[in-house]
Chains A and B, each alone.
Chain A
Amino acid sequence: MGSGLAVVANGFRGFARYLGGVMGADAYAKYLEHHKAAGHAGPPLGEREFWRDRTDRQDSNPQGRCC
């Protein structure tokens, strides 16, 4: 029984992660990953600053949404 539940839980977690990816919830994690991999000298943006910067850049660079 326990393993069956674990499978369901894993499946649910996988789905949640997928949905999060589609909605862009993992953007900060991906930014940190990039920052680390690219070997930047300076410290990365904090989480709050990153999201602020993200929406503020959309202000001057709007993305269309379809009909």
Chain B
Amino acid sequence: MREGMQLPVAAATDESKSTTKSGTMDRKAYWQENLKILSVLLTIWFVVSYGCGILFVDALNSVNLPGTGFPLGFWFAQQGSIYVFVALIFIYVALMNKLDKRYGVEEE
């Protein structure tokens, strides 16, 4: 816990100003990649719930989820979207843990 008292950038390297500057660059890049992950996952989140479950529900209801008696749009609204939500969070956790490691900002 004690090392945590230092600034993260400084903790990653004990060298002087020039590396600190590249440290800020890294932070920016890290944040940009984080935002990219967020926008992809939130797009999926939007498509399965608002898209498949609400906006296009009537069109999707004309077919059944293969092998079952669920009209597809109805299934997305009452079952499918929830399964996707759970999966999205676990995918997010995996992606972020990898990203943290790559940029050396994971917790000790």
Partners in one complex: no
Q: Give the B-binding residues of A (Cβ under 8 A).
A: none
- B-side residues, CB < 8 A to A, are none
